[in-house]
Structure 1
Amino acid sequence: MNSAKKTSERLIKKYPNRRLYDTQTSSYITLADVKQLVLANEEFTVIDAKSDEDLTRSILLQIILEEEANGSPMFSSGALSQIIRYYGHAMQGLMGSYLEKNIHAFIEIQNKLTENSKGMYEGKPFSPEMWTQFMSVQGPMMQGMMGNYIEQSKTLFMQMQEQMQSQTKNMFGTFPFGTVPGAGDTNKKE
Protein backbone atom coordinates (compact mmCIF):
# COMPACT_ATOMS: atom_id res chain seq x y z
CA MET A 1 0.00 0.00 0.00
CA ASN A 2 1.50 3.38 -0.91
CA SER A 3 1.91 6.14 1.67
CA ALA A 4 -0.43 8.57 -0.14
CA LYS A 5 -3.25 6.05 0.09
CA LYS A 6 -2.42 5.29 3.73
CA THR A 7 -2.71 8.92 4.80
CA SER A 8 -6.08 9.41 3.11
CA GLU A 9 -7.55 6.23 4.58
CA ARG A 10 -8.79 5.92 8.10
CA LEU A 11 -6.61 3.54 10.11
CA ILE A 12 -8.19 1.14 12.56
CA LYS A 13 -6.03 -1.06 14.75
CA LYS A 14 -7.21 -4.39 16.09
CA TYR A 15 -5.71 -5.38 19.41
CA PRO A 16 -5.28 -8.92 20.80
CA ASN A 17 -8.26 -8.37 23.11
CA ARG A 18 -10.34 -8.11 19.89
CA ARG A 19 -10.97 -4.41 20.39
CA LEU A 20 -10.86 -2.04 17.45
CA TYR A 21 -9.17 1.33 17.87
CA ASP A 22 -9.91 4.17 15.45
CA THR A 23 -6.74 6.26 15.17
CA GLN A 24 -8.63 9.17 13.60
CA THR A 25 -11.01 9.63 16.55
CA SER A 26 -8.62 8.18 19.16
CA SER A 27 -11.35 5.91 20.48
CA TYR A 28 -12.39 2.30 20.57
CA ILE A 29 -15.12 1.33 18.11
CA THR A 30 -17.33 -1.68 17.45
CA LEU A 31 -18.11 -3.70 14.33
CA ALA A 32 -21.34 -1.67 14.11
CA ASP A 33 -19.21 1.49 13.89
CA VAL A 34 -17.09 -0.08 11.13
CA LYS A 35 -20.32 -0.97 9.31
CA GLN A 36 -21.32 2.70 9.51
CA LEU A 37 -17.98 3.66 7.92
CA VAL A 38 -18.77 1.27 5.06
CA LEU A 39 -22.27 2.71 4.67
CA ALA A 40 -20.81 6.23 4.66
CA ASN A 41 -18.38 5.18 1.87
CA GLU A 42 -15.38 6.05 4.06
CA GLU A 43 -12.09 4.45 3.10
CA PHE A 44 -10.41 2.60 5.95
CA THR A 45 -7.88 -0.10 6.67
CA VAL A 46 -7.90 -2.43 9.65
CA ILE A 47 -4.51 -3.70 10.76
CA ASP A 48 -3.34 -5.99 13.52
CA ALA A 49 -1.78 -3.76 16.18
CA LYS A 50 1.12 -6.18 16.79
CA SER A 51 1.98 -7.54 13.34
CA ASP A 52 0.64 -4.77 11.05
CA GLU A 53 -1.15 -7.51 9.07
CA ASP A 54 -4.04 -6.14 6.99
CA LEU A 55 -7.27 -7.45 8.52
CA THR A 56 -9.71 -5.36 6.50
CA ARG A 57 -11.18 -8.29 4.55
CA SER A 58 -11.55 -10.32 7.74
CA ILE A 59 -13.45 -7.50 9.47
CA LEU A 60 -15.69 -6.99 6.42
CA LEU A 61 -16.43 -10.73 6.36
CA GLN A 62 -17.35 -10.56 10.06
CA ILE A 63 -19.81 -7.77 9.28
CA ILE A 64 -21.32 -9.82 6.45
CA LEU A 65 -21.58 -12.84 8.76
CA GLU A 66 -23.45 -10.76 11.35
CA GLU A 67 -25.75 -9.32 8.69
CA GLU A 68 -26.45 -12.79 7.30
CA ALA A 69 -27.22 -14.13 10.80
CA ASN A 70 -29.58 -11.26 11.66
CA GLY A 71 -32.63 -10.26 9.72
CA SER A 72 -33.07 -11.27 6.11
CA PRO A 73 -30.02 -13.01 4.62
CA MET A 74 -28.80 -11.97 1.19
CA PHE A 75 -27.30 -15.35 0.28
CA SER A 76 -29.12 -18.68 0.24
CA SER A 77 -27.41 -21.79 1.59
CA GLY A 78 -27.18 -23.06 -1.98
CA ALA A 79 -25.43 -19.90 -3.19
CA LEU A 80 -22.96 -20.02 -0.29
CA SER A 81 -22.30 -23.71 -0.99
CA GLN A 82 -21.56 -22.93 -4.64
CA ILE A 83 -19.17 -20.13 -3.67
CA ILE A 84 -17.35 -22.47 -1.26
CA ARG A 85 -17.00 -25.09 -4.00
CA TYR A 86 -15.00 -22.63 -6.10
CA TYR A 87 -12.26 -22.26 -3.48
CA GLY A 88 -9.25 -24.21 -4.71
CA HIS A 89 -10.96 -24.78 -8.08
CA ALA A 90 -9.17 -23.76 -11.26
CA MET A 91 -11.95 -21.22 -11.88
CA GLN A 92 -11.60 -19.53 -8.44
CA GLY A 93 -9.97 -16.39 -9.83
CA LEU A 94 -12.52 -16.09 -12.61
CA MET A 95 -15.41 -16.61 -10.19
CA GLY A 96 -14.16 -13.83 -7.90
CA SER A 97 -13.75 -11.49 -10.85
CA TYR A 98 -17.16 -12.51 -12.20
CA LEU A 99 -18.91 -11.82 -8.89
CA GLU A 100 -17.14 -8.49 -8.47
CA LYS A 101 -18.10 -7.35 -11.97
CA ASN A 102 -21.71 -8.35 -11.33
CA ILE A 103 -21.80 -6.39 -8.09
CA HIS A 104 -20.40 -3.34 -9.90
CA ALA A 105 -23.02 -3.75 -12.64
CA PHE A 106 -25.76 -3.97 -10.01
CA ILE A 107 -24.44 -0.80 -8.33
CA GLU A 108 -24.47 0.97 -11.71
CA ILE A 109 -28.12 -0.05 -12.22
CA GLN A 110 -28.97 1.27 -8.76
CA ASN A 111 -27.11 4.54 -9.43
CA LYS A 112 -28.94 5.00 -12.74
CA LEU A 113 -32.28 4.37 -11.05
CA THR A 114 -31.37 6.89 -8.37
CA GLU A 115 -30.31 9.45 -10.96
CA ASN A 116 -33.45 8.91 -13.04
CA SER A 117 -35.71 9.20 -10.01
CA LYS A 118 -34.24 12.40 -8.54
CA GLY A 119 -37.03 14.48 -10.03
CA MET A 120 -39.59 12.35 -8.22
CA TYR A 121 -38.26 13.37 -4.81
CA GLU A 122 -37.17 16.98 -5.39
CA GLY A 123 -33.55 16.11 -6.22
CA LYS A 124 -32.90 14.37 -2.89
CA PRO A 125 -30.95 11.11 -2.97
CA PHE A 126 -32.89 8.00 -2.04
CA SER A 127 -32.83 7.02 1.61
CA PRO A 128 -33.30 3.35 2.51
CA GLU A 129 -36.95 4.11 3.31
CA MET A 130 -37.44 5.76 -0.09
CA TRP A 131 -35.84 2.72 -1.77
CA THR A 132 -38.27 0.47 0.08
CA GLN A 133 -41.20 2.55 -1.12
CA PHE A 134 -39.84 2.80 -4.66
CA MET A 135 -39.16 -0.96 -4.85
CA SER A 136 -42.64 -1.83 -3.56
CA VAL A 137 -44.07 0.05 -6.53
CA GLN A 138 -41.37 -0.97 -9.02
CA GLY A 139 -40.68 -4.44 -7.58
CA PRO A 140 -42.19 -6.58 -10.34
CA MET A 141 -40.45 -4.55 -13.05
CA MET A 142 -37.13 -4.71 -11.17
CA GLN A 143 -37.48 -8.45 -10.60
CA GLY A 144 -38.02 -8.97 -14.31
CA MET A 145 -35.08 -6.74 -15.18
CA MET A 146 -32.81 -8.48 -12.66
CA GLY A 147 -34.05 -11.89 -13.80
CA ASN A 148 -33.05 -11.03 -17.37
CA TYR A 149 -29.71 -9.66 -16.13
CA ILE A 150 -29.01 -12.82 -14.13
CA GLU A 151 -29.97 -15.05 -17.08
CA GLN A 152 -27.66 -13.09 -19.40
CA SER A 153 -24.93 -13.25 -16.80
CA LYS A 154 -25.39 -17.02 -16.45
CA THR A 155 -25.23 -17.45 -20.22
CA LEU A 156 -22.08 -15.34 -20.39
CA PHE A 157 -20.45 -17.37 -17.62
CA MET A 158 -21.35 -20.66 -19.32
CA GLN A 159 -19.92 -19.40 -22.62
CA MET A 160 -16.73 -18.36 -20.82
CA GLN A 161 -16.45 -21.79 -19.21
CA GLU A 162 -17.04 -23.58 -22.54
CA GLN A 163 -14.42 -21.36 -24.20
CA MET A 164 -11.88 -22.23 -21.51
CA GLN A 165 -12.62 -25.95 -21.90
CA SER A 166 -12.19 -25.65 -25.65
CA GLN A 167 -8.91 -23.79 -25.27
CA THR A 168 -7.68 -26.42 -22.82
CA LYS A 169 -8.58 -29.24 -25.22
CA ASN A 170 -6.81 -27.43 -28.07
CA MET A 171 -3.76 -26.75 -25.94
CA PHE A 172 -3.40 -30.29 -24.59
CA GLY A 173 -4.83 -32.10 -27.62
CA THR A 174 -1.47 -32.07 -29.35
CA PHE A 175 0.24 -34.03 -26.57
CA PRO A 176 0.37 -37.80 -27.06
CA PHE A 177 -1.57 -38.77 -23.92
CA GLY A 178 -2.25 -42.31 -25.00
CA THR A 179 -2.66 -45.27 -22.72
CA VAL A 180 0.39 -47.12 -21.50
CA PRO A 181 0.41 -50.66 -22.94
CA GLY A 182 -0.81 -53.10 -20.32
CA ALA A 183 -1.66 -50.36 -17.76
CA GLY A 184 -5.39 -50.73 -18.13
CA ASP A 185 -5.36 -54.53 -18.50
CA THR A 186 -5.61 -55.78 -14.90
CA ASN A 187 -7.05 -59.21 -15.77
CA LYS A 188 -3.98 -60.27 -17.70
CA LYS A 189 -2.08 -63.22 -16.14
CA GLU A 190 1.69 -63.23 -16.13
Structure 2
Amino acid sequence: MRVIRKYANRRLYDTQQSRYVTLEDLRRLIIDEEPFRVEDAKSGEDLTRTILLSIIIEQEQADSDAEVFSNDLLAQLIRVYDMSSPLPLARYLEQGTQLMLQQQQRMQNQWQQAFKNSPMELMREMAEENMRFWQSALQKPSQGDDDDKPS
Protein backbone atom coordinates (compact mmCIF):
# COMPACT_ATOMS: atom_id res chain seq x y z
CA MET A 1 0.00 0.00 0.00
CA ARG A 2 1.26 3.41 -0.94
CA VAL A 3 1.92 5.75 1.99
CA ILE A 4 1.25 9.47 1.67
CA ARG A 5 2.55 11.72 4.42
CA LYS A 6 0.81 14.95 5.31
CA TYR A 7 3.08 17.64 6.72
CA ALA A 8 2.18 20.57 8.97
CA ASN A 9 2.37 22.90 5.96
CA ARG A 10 -0.57 20.86 4.48
CA ARG A 11 1.61 19.38 1.75
CA LEU A 12 1.18 15.74 0.82
CA TYR A 13 4.25 13.65 0.08
CA ASP A 14 4.11 10.34 -1.81
CA THR A 15 6.79 8.15 -0.21
CA GLN A 16 6.73 5.66 -3.08
CA GLN A 17 7.43 8.23 -5.79
CA SER A 18 9.42 10.60 -3.56
CA ARG A 19 7.45 13.66 -4.63
CA TYR A 20 4.78 16.03 -3.40
CA VAL A 21 1.26 15.29 -4.64
CA THR A 22 -2.06 17.10 -4.81
CA LEU A 23 -5.59 16.03 -3.99
CA GLU A 24 -6.07 15.59 -7.73
CA ASP A 25 -3.17 13.12 -7.81
CA LEU A 26 -4.82 11.17 -5.00
CA ARG A 27 -8.17 11.28 -6.82
CA ARG A 28 -6.43 9.69 -9.82
CA LEU A 29 -5.06 6.92 -7.55
CA ILE A 30 -8.61 6.23 -6.38
CA ILE A 31 -9.92 6.05 -9.93
CA ASP A 32 -7.05 3.71 -10.83
CA GLU A 33 -8.00 1.63 -7.75
CA GLU A 34 -4.55 1.97 -6.25
CA PRO A 35 -4.75 1.70 -2.46
CA PHE A 36 -3.07 4.32 -0.32
CA ARG A 37 -2.96 5.50 3.26
CA VAL A 38 -2.49 9.11 4.32
CA GLU A 39 -0.72 9.60 7.62
CA ASP A 40 0.39 12.56 9.65
CA ALA A 41 4.14 12.95 9.10
CA LYS A 42 4.78 13.72 12.77
CA SER A 43 2.40 11.45 14.71
CA GLY A 44 1.68 8.71 12.16
CA GLU A 45 -2.07 9.19 12.74
CA ASP A 46 -4.24 7.84 9.89
CA LEU A 47 -5.72 10.84 8.03
CA THR A 48 -7.07 8.92 5.04
CA ARG A 49 -10.78 9.58 5.74
CA THR A 50 -10.15 13.30 6.16
CA ILE A 51 -8.28 13.47 2.86
CA LEU A 52 -10.97 11.42 1.07
CA LEU A 53 -13.61 13.83 2.37
CA SER A 54 -11.47 16.74 1.15
CA ILE A 55 -11.38 15.19 -2.32
CA ILE A 56 -15.17 14.86 -2.31
CA ILE A 57 -15.58 18.48 -1.20
CA GLU A 58 -13.23 19.63 -3.94
CA GLN A 59 -15.21 17.71 -6.56
CA GLU A 60 -18.53 19.02 -5.25
CA GLN A 61 -17.28 22.60 -5.52
CA ALA A 62 -15.55 22.17 -8.88
CA ASP A 63 -18.55 21.05 -10.92
CA SER A 64 -22.08 22.00 -9.89
CA ASP A 65 -23.47 19.68 -12.59
CA ALA A 66 -21.82 16.71 -10.89
CA GLU A 67 -23.19 17.54 -7.44
CA VAL A 68 -23.89 14.37 -5.48
CA PHE A 69 -24.61 15.75 -2.03
CA SER A 70 -27.55 18.15 -1.97
CA ASN A 71 -28.09 20.38 1.05
CA ASP A 72 -31.03 18.20 2.10
CA LEU A 73 -28.99 15.01 1.88
CA LEU A 74 -26.15 16.52 3.92
CA ALA A 75 -28.63 17.70 6.57
CA GLN A 76 -30.11 14.19 6.75
CA LEU A 77 -26.65 12.65 7.17
CA ILE A 78 -25.95 15.05 10.04
CA ARG A 79 -29.22 13.97 11.69
CA VAL A 80 -28.15 10.30 11.46
CA TYR A 81 -25.11 11.09 13.63
CA ASP A 82 -27.42 12.56 16.28
CA MET A 83 -29.65 9.48 16.55
CA SER A 84 -29.56 7.59 19.85
CA SER A 85 -29.13 4.35 17.87
CA PRO A 86 -27.52 5.33 14.59
CA LEU A 87 -28.50 3.34 11.53
CA PRO A 88 -25.89 1.03 9.99
CA LEU A 89 -25.72 3.62 7.24
CA ALA A 90 -22.12 2.97 6.19
CA ARG A 91 -22.93 -0.61 5.22
CA TYR A 92 -25.96 0.38 3.13
CA LEU A 93 -24.14 3.23 1.41
CA GLU A 94 -21.12 1.03 0.59
CA GLN A 95 -23.25 -1.82 -0.73
CA GLY A 96 -25.61 0.45 -2.64
CA THR A 97 -22.74 2.36 -4.23
CA GLN A 98 -20.98 -0.87 -5.16
CA LEU A 99 -24.19 -2.14 -6.78
CA MET A 100 -24.59 1.13 -8.69
CA LEU A 101 -21.00 1.00 -9.97
CA GLN A 102 -21.39 -2.62 -11.04
CA GLN A 103 -24.59 -1.79 -12.88
CA GLN A 104 -22.96 1.22 -14.53
CA GLN A 105 -20.15 -1.01 -15.81
CA ARG A 106 -22.68 -3.59 -16.95
CA MET A 107 -24.68 -0.91 -18.76
CA GLN A 108 -21.57 0.31 -20.55
CA ASN A 109 -20.73 -3.26 -21.56
CA GLN A 110 -24.29 -3.79 -22.77
CA TRP A 111 -24.25 -0.63 -24.88
CA GLN A 112 -21.10 -1.88 -26.53
CA GLN A 113 -22.94 -5.09 -27.37
CA ALA A 114 -26.30 -3.43 -28.12
CA PHE A 115 -27.03 -5.57 -31.14
CA LYS A 116 -26.91 -8.79 -29.09
CA ASN A 117 -29.33 -7.87 -26.28
CA SER A 118 -32.41 -5.66 -26.19
CA PRO A 119 -32.33 -2.61 -23.88
CA MET A 120 -35.62 -3.68 -22.27
CA GLU A 121 -34.10 -7.02 -21.23
CA LEU A 122 -31.17 -5.21 -19.63
CA MET A 123 -33.48 -2.86 -17.71
CA ARG A 124 -35.58 -5.83 -16.51
CA GLU A 125 -32.46 -7.63 -15.26
CA MET A 126 -31.22 -4.51 -13.47
CA ALA A 127 -34.60 -3.99 -11.79
CA GLU A 128 -34.60 -7.60 -10.59
CA GLU A 129 -31.03 -7.25 -9.31
CA ASN A 130 -31.99 -4.09 -7.41
CA MET A 131 -34.97 -5.83 -5.83
CA ARG A 132 -32.86 -8.82 -4.73
CA PHE A 133 -30.17 -6.52 -3.29
CA TRP A 134 -32.54 -4.35 -1.24
CA GLN A 135 -34.62 -7.31 -0.05
CA SER A 136 -31.44 -9.02 1.10
CA ALA A 137 -29.99 -5.88 2.69
CA LEU A 138 -33.17 -5.08 4.60
CA GLN A 139 -33.93 -8.64 5.74
CA LYS A 140 -30.50 -9.79 6.93
CA PRO A 141 -29.32 -8.65 10.34
CA SER A 142 -26.23 -6.61 9.69
CA GLN A 143 -22.89 -8.04 10.68
CA GLY A 144 -20.56 -5.63 12.38
CA ASP A 145 -23.24 -3.04 13.18
CA ASP A 146 -21.17 -2.19 16.25
CA ASP A 147 -18.43 -1.02 13.88
CA ASP A 148 -20.85 1.51 12.40
CA LYS A 149 -21.71 3.08 15.77
CA PRO A 150 -19.79 6.18 16.73
CA SER A 151 -17.33 5.75 19.57
TM-score by length of 1: 0.58
Cα 1:116–1:67, aligned 2, differ >3 Å: closer, same or farther?
same
Pairing 1:10–2:2 present = yes
Alignment match of 1:70 (pick from 56, 62, 66): 62
**CA separation in 2, counterparts of 1:156 and 1:76?**
28
In our comparison, the structure showing a higher alpha carbon Rg is 1
Point out where structure 1 has 5 or more consecutive residues left out of the alignment. Answer: 1-8, 121-137, 164-190
Instruction: Count how many residue pairs are aligned between Structure 1 and Structure 2.
Output: 127
Correspondences of 1:34-183 after superposition (within 5 Å)? 34-72=26-64, 73-119=67-113, 153=134
Runs of 5+ in structure 2 lacking a partner? 142-151
What are the superposed Cα offsets for residues 125-167 of structure 1, whole Å, 9 maximum, x if unpaired?
A: xxxxxxxxxxxxx9xx98xx78xx59x95x988x66xx9xxxx
Q: Of the two structures, which has the highest relative contact order with CA contacts closer than 8 Å and spacing of 6 or more?
A: 2
Name the CA distance, whole Å, in 2 between partners of 1:92 and 1:42: 31
- Percent sequence identity over aligned pairs: 40
Cα displacement string for residues 100-125 of structure 1 (whole angstroms, at most 9, x for unaligned residues): 111011011112223323446xxxxx
TM-score, reference length from structure 2 = 0.71
Pairwise CA RMSD: 2.9
C-alpha distance in 1 between matches for 2:87 and 2:35:
25
Deviation at residue 90 of structure 1 after TM alignment: 4.2
